[in-house]
C-alpha cells in the first residue's frame, strides 16, 4: 500500500525519506509543497528531480478523507462531512469572522466519554482518526475555500472542538498539531491553535511537555457531584486534580490563561449560586470563561438556558474579575453549532443519513 504522506509530521517525514535513501531537505521541500502550496500532485513539485517524483508516485500518496457532503449556513459557516470508512463519518466546520477564519476539527469518530449533553457522545466510540485524517481536514478546508487575495490560506485558527476527545487520540493529534505549527507546513502560532479537553489529566501534562498550545477545558459544573453526571470522566479525574493540572499546564503554555467552556443547561448548572461556586473553584487558576448556549439535538435531556439567565451568570463572573464571553451560536441551521456534530450513521437498511435524528 502507498504511504500517505499526510500521516507524517516533519520529523516523521524526514525519517521516512531517510529510509528511502533521500536527504532530509527533500522532506522539507515536500512538506512545503503539500501545506504551503496546497499541492497533492507529485508531478507539480517542480524542484524535485523527476526521478524522485516518479519514485514518490510509486510509493506514496497525499490523500485527505473523502468529502461526502457539504453545507453552507446562512451566516457563512461551512460544514463538511468526511467519510472515515465502515459507515462512519466525521464533521469539520469553518467559521468565518472578520479578522480570522476558524476551523473546528474532529479527532475521533464518535467519543467514548459520553457527556450527558453531547450528541457525539451519544453515538459511542468508533475509532481514532489518523494524523492524515486530522490534518487533512485543514488541508481540505484551505483547498476548498481557496487563498485570500493576499495569498494567505483562509484557516488562520484551529480549534480541536469537533467530534471526539483529542487527548484520548494523543499521538495522532500531536503529529497533526505539529504540522499546524511547523514553519514549513501551516506555521500557525501556538496561540491560534486550541485543544479542547473534557479533562484527561495525565494527557494534559503530556501535551504541556510535548506540544503546548492554547488550552480549553470543558468544565460545565462547579462541583464534583454535578460534574460526575454531566462529564463522567470527572469520576476518574475530579475537579481538584483538574484545577491542579490547569495550573501545571500554564507553566509552559503559550497563553497565560486557560479557557473554561461552560454549556448553559436550563435549571441544571445556570444559577447564581452555581456561578458563585465556580468563582471559588477557579480562584487559583488564571482563566477566562466561555459560556456556550446548549445546542439541542433529538432526544437531548436538557434545554438551553434563556439569554437573561446566561447574561446574569456572566455578570456574576465578571464582577469577580473573570473575563467571560457568551459564545455566538454559529451555523445553527446546518447543525454545525457546538456539540451538534454527529457525523453520519447507517440504519439497518444501510441507508445513510446526514445526522443522527432519523437514525434511532
Contact between 161 and ligand SAH by CB under 6 A: the answer reads: yes
Contact between 197 and ligand SAH by CB under 6 A: the answer reads: yes
Residue selected from 14, 120, 295, 355 as contacting ligand SF4 according to rule CB under 6 A = 120
Contact between 164 and ligand SF4 by CB under 6 A: the answer reads: yes
Enumerate residues 6+ apart whose C-beta is below 8 A from 84.
65, 90, 109, 127, 129, 133
Contacts with ligand SAH, 103-122, as mask; x by CB under 6 A = ------------x-xx----
> How near is the Cβ of 285 to ligand SAH at its closest, in Å?
16
Residue selected from 70, 71, 75, 114 as contacting ligand SF4 according to rule CB under 6 A = 114
Cα distances (Å, whole numbers) of residue 38 to 59, 136, 302: 20, 11, 42
Contact between 222 and ligand SAH by CB under 6 A: the answer reads: no
**DSSP secondary structure, 268-281, as one string:** TS-SHHHHHHHHHH
Q: Taking contact as CB under 6 A, which single stretch among the options 59-67, 116-124, 264-272, 284-292 is the one that binds ligand SF4?
A: 116-124
Contact between 293 and ligand SF4 by CB under 6 A: the answer reads: no
d(CA 161, CA 319): 28
- Coil, strand or helix at 258: strand
Enumerate residues 6+ apart whose C-beta is below 8 A from 90.
65, 81, 82, 84, 106, 108, 109, 129, 133, 162, 163, 164, 341, 343
How many positions of this chain bind ligand SAH (CB under 6 A)? 16
Residue selected from 64, 130, 137, 218 as contacting ligand SAH according to rule CB under 6 A = 218
Give the pairing of strands 108-110 and 125-128.
antiparallel
DSSP alpha helix (H) spans, the chain:
10-19, 24-31, 50-59, 119-122, 131-145, 170-181, 201-210, 224-230, 239-250, 272-281, 307-319
- Active-site residue numbers? 91, 338
Contact between 342 and ligand SAH by CB under 6 A: the answer reads: no
Residue selected from 77, 169, 173, 218 as contacting ligand SF4 according to rule CB under 6 A = 218
> How near is the Cβ of 218 to ligand SAH at its closest, in Å?
4
Contact between 196 and ligand SAH by CB under 6 A: the answer reads: yes
Which secondary structure element, helix H or strand E, spans residue 193, and what is its range?
strand 193-197
Residue ranges in contact with ligand SF4 by CB under 6 A: 111, 113-115, 118, 120-121, 164-165, 198, 218
Amino acid at each position: 500500500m502507498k504511504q500517505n504522506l499526510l500521516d507524517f509530521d516533519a520529523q516523521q517525514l524526514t525519517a521516512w525519506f531517510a529510509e528511502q535513501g533521500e536527504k532530509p531537505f527533500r522532506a522539507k521541500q515536500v512538506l512545503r509543497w503539500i501545506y504551503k502550496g496546497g499541492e497533492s500532485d507529485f508531478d507539480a513539485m517542480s524542484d524535485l528531480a523527476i526521478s524522485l517524483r516518479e519514485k514518490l508516485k510509486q510509493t506514496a500518496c497525499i490523500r485527505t478523507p473523502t468529502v461526502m457532503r457539504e453545507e453552507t449556513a446562512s451566516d457563512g459557516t461551512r460544514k463538511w462531512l468526511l467519510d472515515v470508512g465502515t459507515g462512519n463519518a466525521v464533521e469539520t466546520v469553518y467559521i468565518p469572522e472578520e479578522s480570522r477564519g476558524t476551523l473546528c476539527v474532529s479527532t475521533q469518530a464518535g467519543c467514548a466519554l459520553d457527556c450527558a449533553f453531547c450528541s457525539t457522545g451519544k453515538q459511542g466510540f468508533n475509532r481514532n482518526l489518523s494524523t492524515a485524517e486530522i490534518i487533512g481536514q485543514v488541508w481540505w478546508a484551505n483547498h476548498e475555500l481557496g487563498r485570500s487575495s493576499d495569498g494567505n490560506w483562509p484557516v488562520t485558527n484551529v480549534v480541536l472542538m469537533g467530534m471526539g476527545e483529542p487527548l484520548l487520540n494523543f499521538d495522532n493529534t500531536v503529529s497533526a498539531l505539529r504540522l499546524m505549527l511547523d514553519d514549513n507546513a501551516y506555521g500557525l502560532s501556538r496561540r491560534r491553535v486550541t485543544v479542547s479537553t473534557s479533562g484527561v489529566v495525565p494527557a494534559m501534562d503530556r501535551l504541556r511537555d510535548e506540544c503546548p498550545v492554547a488550552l480549553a477545558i470543558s468544565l460545565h459544573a462547579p462541583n464534583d457531584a454535578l460534574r460526575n453526571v454531566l462529564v463522567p470522566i470527572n469520576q476518574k479525574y475530579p475537579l481538584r486534580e483538574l484545577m491542579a493540572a490547569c495550573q501545571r499546564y500554564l507553566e509552559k503554555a503559550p497563553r497565560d490563561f486557560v479557557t473554561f467552556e461552560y454549556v448553559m443547561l436550563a435549571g441544571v448548572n445556570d444559577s447564581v449560586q452555581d456561578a458563585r461556586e465556580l468563582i471559588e473553584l477557579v480562584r487559583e487558576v488564571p482563566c477566562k470563561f466561555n459560556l456556550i448556549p446548549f445546542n439541542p439535538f433529538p432526544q437531548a435531556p436538557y434545554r438551553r438556558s434563556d439569554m437573561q439567565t446566561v447574561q446574569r451568570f456572566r455578570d456574576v463572573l465578571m464582577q469577580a474579575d473573570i473575563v467571560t464571553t457568551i459564545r455566538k451560536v454559529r451555523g445553527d441551521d446546518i447543525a454545525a453549532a457546538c456539540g451538534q456534530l454527529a457525523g453520519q450513521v447507517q440504519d439497518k437498511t444501510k441507508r445513510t443519513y446526514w445526522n443522527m435524528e432519523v437514525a434511532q
